[in-house]
Chains A and B, each alone.
Chain A
Amino acid sequence: MQKLLILVAVIFFPFLMLAQQNVKYEREKKISAEDFPDAAMQLILPLLENAKAVKFYQETNQDGINYEVKLKYDKTHYSIEFDSLQRLKDVEELLDWKKATDIPRAAIKRNMDDTFRKQKVTRIQKQYNLKSSVKQLQSLPPSEDIILSINYELEVEGEMHRKNVLQFYELLFDENGELIQQRVIQKNITDNLIF
């Protein structure tokens, strides 16, 4: 019996892991500037002079605890994320899906059409992955010489082929518009607003 259980666990464990990875889990807590890690603060110090609506967050997700700054710089919304070791993870720039021109729109659209029967983009962010050698961010968007790669993170409401279920997904595309990651976003109930 014990051997059978181990066998079942071994067979199903990878599938369980896969299922867990496909769901986005993220918990965000607003913190004060004083509670924001010093090393991370030093990295963004030059930006804060010209930034507006600066807010600091502690974020818990599958990878552990991260830190995030959200701000408005030169009329554009950015979020700058740091890992638990206060290393710069990425910078995300909020774009307008309908207006954005410098995105691989055709490739992204083709990939989404392959996955979904119907879809609507509700949010898009340009994700700048920066070189680990970056000591301080001087301006936003980051300058070309410190960018390692660019991704596009989309939040999409969609209905997959052969599935009559509408759900929200987070899709990550590389700079050529090829799909890297797809996760389901668990939304809170909105019955309190509807009924």
Chain B
Amino acid sequence: MKRYLLPVFVFFLFFTSFGQVRPVFIEPALSVGKTLKGRWSANAKLVFRQQMGLFDSDGFTAFSQSDILEIQLFANYKLLGSKQITLGYLYGIDEPFLDEPAWEHRLMQQFTFGSGNGFKWVNRFRLEQRFGEENFRNRFRYRFTFDRPISGSQLDSGEWYFVAGDEWLYTFTGKAGEDHLENRLNAGLGYLFENGQKLQFEIQYRIIRMVSSCASSAWHFLVTHNLKW
């Protein structure tokens, strides 16, 4: 257990050493998977993001504020060799409880491949077309994620696992000065239930608009419940 906690601790120490107050978000999500006929499967994911401890130049303004509500739908087709191609759609609402929240429609094309016994890893490549009320953006994402049982060489029900990953996101619009790069580094713990469901707690550190003068960062605490229907 100790050897898994050490990298998480170093990860915390490294990023908090900047000594600046960064926005903190809590992001609970529910992901439901369903095996369909043949090689097809479907997934639905509901994400609700809440920003905690809001400050402005005058100081504390609010304890929390809802930030994003997203509904994601995916159709997946399995390929031999632990590969999968996916088409997805997302409907997102920014600050959903305001009088005039902003919306977004997003189309997604995804290819994943992975493997592993015990140490399971997945490479994910995703293209996104993001249709906002006033703008359109493309985004390319690459993510590497793995999980590994805390005890034993294979993950059995009733056991905890360690999960970590890193994702690079490149937004391109075709307009000068608007393209930007983002990185999301995450680590956490998950639990596999007897019924095959997984509950996962992760800390994610995001660096937004990297390699630019307006770079910023934020902490996200992710809690995701994965279940099969």
Residues of A at the B interface (CB closer than 8 Å) are 26-30, 55, 57, 70, 118-120, 122-123, 155, 157, 159, 164-166, 188-195
Contacts and interface: CB of A to CB of B under 8 A. Distances in A.
Given A30-B151, A188-B155, A189-B226, A194 B84 contact: yes
Contact of A195 (B31, B78, B120): B31
Contact of A29 (B31, B72, B156, B190): B156
A192 B80 contact: no
A191 B33 contact: yes
A29 B114 contact: no
A122 B116 CA distance: 9
Interface string B99-142: 00000000000001011010011101000000000000000000
Given A191-B43, A192-B190, A193-B146, A28 B82 contact: no
A193 B152 contact: no
21 contacts: A27-B157, A29-B156, A30-B151, A55-B153, A70-B153, A119-B80, A120-B80, A122-B82, A157-B80, A164-B37, A189-B33, A190-B114, A192-B198, A192-B200, A192-B224, A193-B121, A193-B147, A194-B112, A194-B124, A195-B45, A195-B74
Nearest to B41: A191
B81 interface: yes
B145 interface: yes
B36 to A, nearest CB: 11
A157 B43 CA distance: 22
Contact of B80 (A70, A166, A191, A195): A166
Contact of B115 (A122, A188, A191): A122
A193 B153 contact: no
B122 A190 contact: yes
Residue of A26, A70, A165, A190 contacting most chain B CB atoms (<10 Å): A190
Interface of B: 31, 33, 37-39, 43, 45, 72, 74, 78-82, 84, 86, 112, 114-115, 117, 120-122, 124, 145-147, 151-157, 163, 165, 190, 192, 196-198, 200, 224, 226, 228
A4 B121 CA distance: 51
B112 A30 contact: no
Contacts of A120: 80-81
B113 to A, nearest CB: 10
Given A193-B122, A195-B72, A118 B80 contact: yes
Given A192-B147, A192-B198, A166 B153 contact: no
Contacts of A122: 82, 115, 117
A76 B156 CA distance: 25
A81 B114 CA distance: 29
Contact of A166 (B39, B151, B190, B192): B39
Closest 5 CB pairs of A and B: A164-B38, A193-B122, A28-B152, A27-B156, A193-B145
A189 B198 contact: yes
B155 to A, nearest CB: 6
Residue of A28, A188, A192 contacting most chain B CB atoms (<10 Å): A192
